[in-house]
Amino acid sequence: MALEDTNTIDGAAYEGSDNTVVLLLTDAWGWDDEATHLGLLQDKINAYAAFVETGQYRQVFPDVDPDHCVFDISFAQPITERCLAFLRAAAAQLNEQLGIVLQVHTGGGGEGE
């Protein structure tokens, strides 16, 4: 899926061993237009949060009442400092308000929050 397709979940999985719904988000964009990139990323994360908050995940996993939810974001390119700051703030807010954990994998082999 594409980052600009903000109303589509890129992938979803259920991990029964720890009763967790994992929503996958793939970001293949570069950082030439950082402001647009961050705006789309924020829109996509907000759509994922609404998907969880409204219980829409039950359409995908009808028999699941998860204990946890994880947003697993994979970036094709290394992220910028501004993106890292945004992700830290988003992770704190998602966890505080909805109990969602944000996992980040970045191009170049590094991992973030």
pLDDT digits (tens, 9 = 90+) for 15-45: 999 999 999 999 999 999 999 999 999 999 9
- C-alpha span between 60 and 84 (Å, rounded): 30
Closest among 90, 91, 72, 96 to 21, alpha carbons compared:
72
pLDDT < 70 regions, the chain = 1, 108-113
How far CA 53 is from CA of 46, 59, 66, 75, in Å, comes to 10, 13, 12, 24
β-bridge pairing 68-75 and 20-27? parallel
> Within the chain, what is the greatest distance between any pair of CA atoms?
43
Q: What is the pLDDT of residue 4?
A: 86
Q: What is the pLDDT of residue 107?
A: 78
